[in-house]
Structure 1
């Protein structure tokens, strides 16, 4: 064989020097002399022929590199790569040189190909990846190299078989805590992609559930995020709650943000803290700087999730932006009712745009039913009339003020047309007040007239009783030992037009007239 190769080498040199044969002319299979040199492992011939196209492909799209790999000619593979051969050119079955190297279980060639930039994720026509082949051959060292290089553990072939399940099945003697470049363990990948069988096998082999990836997340985080409740249930007993707290974000946050109600229920039942707050680093990733799982549930209008969290003891007043403000802004009466029943602060302020009155009113001035409901439940109407400028508003209009006044809000074009009904509604929830200059100016501009009549003793008594009860006990008005009609009066409920006339002595203050 050596003599044959030597004679072939000498003949090749003679042919090249004589230029009597076209070296670019393929045979019936599309093979060039370059392909034959790679196939037979003749490095010397390769060196001569490499002046031709190094990535030339046969009729079956085979490159010299792929042929050399398939025949396990390590020296040829190395030389071809050094000379610039493309390690990612596949044949007509989409099999790359790396795929072939793993199929042939040749560790040395795998090392070479990865060093020269071979992709570990390219799949053949049947969906098989280099990792599938490495695992099929039970070559754990090759599998580890591929994982380190970025191979996807969750990749499935056309038969639905993924490399991860096979890997954990065959790795009884291997390190089940092997991590990829992003520090994700096999358990992390299995948890992320919902491979319950793989998770079960890894846990049986004592895989560490408390290994984090580069972002500090645990397997339980990604399982919760993607809604894999059965995997979350498997991970809970072994996951350290201290590790979860140190990560800066709870699994509850991911479950609530992504509407994973089953996972949320599982975590709550397992005793996860429903009042856990995100770290500042995590919170800053959100434009609204949310910090609790409840906020995400409210933002998603997820009544079921919000109910579970509140029933489990979630505090609705922990976020910088109160969840109640979000619910009011979204116009969700059901969510507003739920939050108020669980003690949400109806008089919360906006930290970014501080006002001298409850911020909820900013978001409901065009929705009178919502406004009235908030006022019924303790929203401070009196503060709307405590304008610091009073009757000399225009004299101080140029001065900047850190707290926005109610009269300034209703002066905006989008609200100004509603000034009459807004003021008329608010007057039902206050005692003796004076309208400031700007409010009167707007009413006058729109040809509206509101006369603030003296309050009746009955109305003042209602306000006093509600004040003594306190905001958080307004829900218990119905339990007072009083006649039904009086309970309705205290709750601002109406039975008929006659009741309106008797229980609202200051009504009919609001009239429209033409100039």
Structure 2
């Protein structure tokens, strides 16, 4: 390990160095003690007066201590007048900062650099501007110092004095012929800082001496812009006062936009400064000057009314004043929104009425094709009175936007007040109009938005309840998909509803099952829908229930008379025949029993074996036995005991035929078809026999659950 060598240097050079340090230490101690006589005595010796001790020379210490007489003695001794500290501050910088006028005068007299720069490029005159010391500044100015030299931030002494609110220094610098309009790195000059910081006295001085009130910083912002943004009322009054009294070519440009196109008036309205906005309007600001996004003052003012809380009257007064001054009330912003459209969307009845009284054009539309009526129907506030006013003013009620949506669609999509929907229909809205994208009718839209009252109203008003959308899905399909029982029941009660859909991809029963809406499946079954209709995947409803492993749904379908063997009765080539070319129709892999086995659902298997109208398909059970014995992949899903149990079950079903009683029941059920409950009631049979035909030993549990559910619904209805 290396240690610092602390042994004393006994050489002559070492002795001399120690002697210098001793003398300087003694000298600096005398300066600290303000002991002039000791300083004089020490200075009589011959030694290096600029030798640094404690990081400074004796003269630097004397300047910091404000010891003028000692400074003079050191300078006479030959001390370096150009010495600087670690931040490159010269002796003159130090004297200026501390306000030592006599020392500054002494340094200047001895040729100190009056434009010396520290590491921030600050000159002594800038230091005086910072402290506000006019007397030292006067000394520097008499020696012709540079009054306009900028520091690293680009700030001149005038800018520095303004920032520090030294009004007398500002006037002194201007009287000494400094340049008044030089800006910093952002091109912000003294006028801008005075306006931004609210220094009215300094602003008045600058105006008096001819400084430019139209000067712009790098963002294009003028002093007036900054004063408005910072809510400097007194500054704004001064600028407007000067503007009103100045000759034409020297007036303030009140509407100078920033690089973003924002004028002082737009800034005042955007920041919710109604007092300033009214002052600027009275001063003659352009009421139609627009920003980069094509927003004019009236656009911004209308938006502001809906944004502020508790100050609506003040914001409204600005709108009224702009309108009174003759603004263009039909001008659109970048999106084509006029003041009328904005007020309608905001749900502001007073503003809408104001623009309509001023004959605003009700036929204007936005870039998306929306009219004022679309906007009113889309409003969160949902004001029926505004819709009524617009219709009376001539808004076309069936004009579509770019998406092909008429105002009725906007009202439904935005879940508007029912009074708006009723009003639109009353005034002739097209109930069967279909929008462009998905060809949805108003009834589709009402169902999608779960607006039960609106949907029933549209049906009662005479809309086409079978109008399909782009995918040939009718309103009943949509209601089944969304699980809206009330709308489903209402559609079916009209007697005009196509219950089985138009195409195999849009079958109401299938979509209700897909979304597990059991109650709707029951409603459809009771209404007489085709319980054996094959969908686009070649699945009947019972096959679909088996594929989805929905035992409750399968029971429901079988209860109402669906045919487990319906797929086998379909004739001709089908899509499934292309999917399973090796297997002839009906295909083994689509059999309900196959699905039940793959799901290991023993209850479903038992249900299916009991509910075939004929004997269970022999060929299917033979293949299932083979499937269970040979397919090794099943080992990961079933235990050997489970497989054995199923094999025994299927072998028993193959070997033991059904009883004559069971066969007769199956034939009767097949003959009865769907809804056997209603048909059995009419048969001249004993109640016990009727129960046997309806298989109540299997479906009793389901009926009990339904009865309990029905009772609960009734109780809930009474409570509500």
| TM-score when normalising by structure 1 | 0.71
Q: What is the match of residue 30 of structure 1?
A: 198
**Contact residue 228 and residue 263 of structure 1 kept, 8 A:** no
Q: 1:495 & 1:420 partners in 2: Cα distance?
A: 11
Matched residues in 2 for 1:383 and 1:349: separation? 9
Change (3 A) 1:357 1:345: closer
Higher helix share: 2
The within-5 A match list for 1:171-186 is: 171-172=356-357, 173-186=359-372
**1:330 equivalent among 506, 515, 526:** 515
Contact persistence 1:310–1:342 (CA under 8 A): yes
Q: Given the alignment of the two structures, is residue 439 of structure 1 paired with residue 621 of structure 2, yes or no? A: no
Q: Which residue of 1 aligns with 2:131?
A: none
Instruction: Work out the CA distance in 2 between the residues paired with 1:355 and 1:101.
Output: 73
Question: What do you get for the CA RMSD once the two structures are aligned?
Answer: 4.9
Say yes or no: does 1:201 pair with 2:368: no
Equivalent residue for 1:271?
A: 462
Cα deviations by residue, 1:124-143 (Å, 9 ceiling, x for unpaired): 64476989844675569633
Aligned to 2:286: 109
Higher RCO (C-alpha 8 Å, min separation 6): 1
Measure the CA separation in 1 of the matches of 2:540 and 2:293: 66
Q: Secondary structure in 2 aligned to 1:327? A: helix
CA distance in 2, matches of 1:55, 1:276: 62
TM-superposition CA deviations, 1:408-465 (whole Å, max 9, x none): 7766799431157425534432313304344224566512222222233333333333
Task: Kindly state the Cα deviation for residue 381 of structure 1 after the two structures are TM-superposed.
Answer: 0.9
Superposed CA deviations along residues 62-103 of structure 1, whole A, max 9, x for unmatched, are 599x969x969999355434x555459845982389x94999
- Residues 102 and 417 (structure 1), Cα distance of their counterparts in 2 relative to 1, 3 Å cut: farther
Number of corresponding residues: 457
> Retained in 2: the 8 A contact 1:25–1:32?
no
1:107-256 map, 5 Å? 109-114=286-291, 117-118=294-295, 120=299, 123=304, 125-126=308-309, 133-134=318-319, 138=323, 142-146=328-332, 148-149=336-337, 152-154=342-344, 162-168=347-353, 170-172=355-357, 173-193=359-379, 194-225=382-413, 226-241=415-430, 244-245=433-434, 248-256=439-447
Deviates more, 1:470-479 or 1:186-195: 470-479
| 1:293-308 matches, cutoff 5 A | 293-308=475-490
Per-residue CA distance 1:475-497 (angstroms, 9 max, x = gap): 43322333322322222223999
1:316-337 CA-to-partner distances (Å, cap 9, x unmatched) read 3226232222322333332111
Which structure 2 residue ranges, 5 or more long, are not aligned?
A: 1-173, 184-188, 245-250, 571-578, 630-639, 701-720
Provide closer, same or farther for how the CA distance between residues 31 and 316 of structure 1 changes in structure 2, counting only shifts above 3 A: farther
Once structures 1 and 2 are overlaid, which stretch shifts more, 192-201 or 176-185? 176-185
* Alignment correspondent of 1:361: 545
Q: Are the counterparts in 2 of residues 375 and 429 from structure 1 also a CA contact under 8 Å? A: no
Structure 1 CA distance, aligned partners of 2:623 and 2:280?
82
1:380-411 CA distances to partner (integer Å, 9 max, x unpaired)? Answer: 21257899xxxxxxxx9994899864467766
Give runs of aligned pairs for residues 48-59 of structure 1, distance below 5 A: 48-50=215-217, 54=221, 57-58=226-227
Task: Please give the per-residue CA displacement for 1:184-243, whole angstroms capped at 9, x wherever unaligned.
Answer: 122222222221111122233343211112211111122233142211111113335377
Asked if the contact 2:356–2:393 (Cα under 8 Å) also holds between the matched residues in 1, the reply is no
Distance change in 2, residues 1:116/1:53 (3 Å): same
Q: 1-side partners of 2:535 and 2:232: how far apart?
A: 66
Distance 1:237 1:30, change over 3 A: same
CA distance in 1, matches of 2:427, 2:545: 47
Tell me whether 1:339 sits opposite 2:524 in the alignment: yes
Contact 1:60 / 1:92 at 8 angstroms: preserved in 2?
A: no
Q: Please show how residues 32-71 of structure 1 align to structure 2 within 5 Å.
A: 45-46=212-213, 48-50=215-217, 54=221, 57-58=226-227, 61-62=230-231
In structure 2, which of residues 661, 671, 691 is the aligned counterpart of residue 468 of structure 1?
Answer: 671
Give the match for residue 370 of structure 1.
553
* TM-score (ref. length: structure 2): 0.53
Q: In 2, Cα distance between the equivalents of 1:49 and 1:207?
A: 46
Whole-angstrom CA distance in 2 between matches of 1:460 and 1:479: 21
**Cα offset for 1:349?**
3.1
Q: Residue 426 of structure 2: SS of its match in structure 1?
A: coil
Does the C-alpha gap of structure 1 residues 400 and 169 become closer, same or farther in structure 2, counting only changes over 3 Å? farther
The alignment partner of 1:113 has SS state of coil
Would the alpha carbon gap of residues 481 and 169 (structure 1) be closer, same or farther in structure 2, given more than 3 Å must change? Answer: farther
Instruction: Describe the shift of the 1:434–1:92 C-alpha distance in structure 2 as closer, same or farther (beyond 3 A).
Output: same
Query: Is 230-239 or 267-276 further displaced after alignment?
Result: 230-239
Rg comparison, structure with higher value: 2
Does structure 2 conserve the Cα–Cα contact (< 8 Å) formed by 1:249 and 1:277? yes
Consecutive unaligned residues in structure 1, runs of 5 or more: 1-10, 157-161, 284-289, 388-395, 498-515
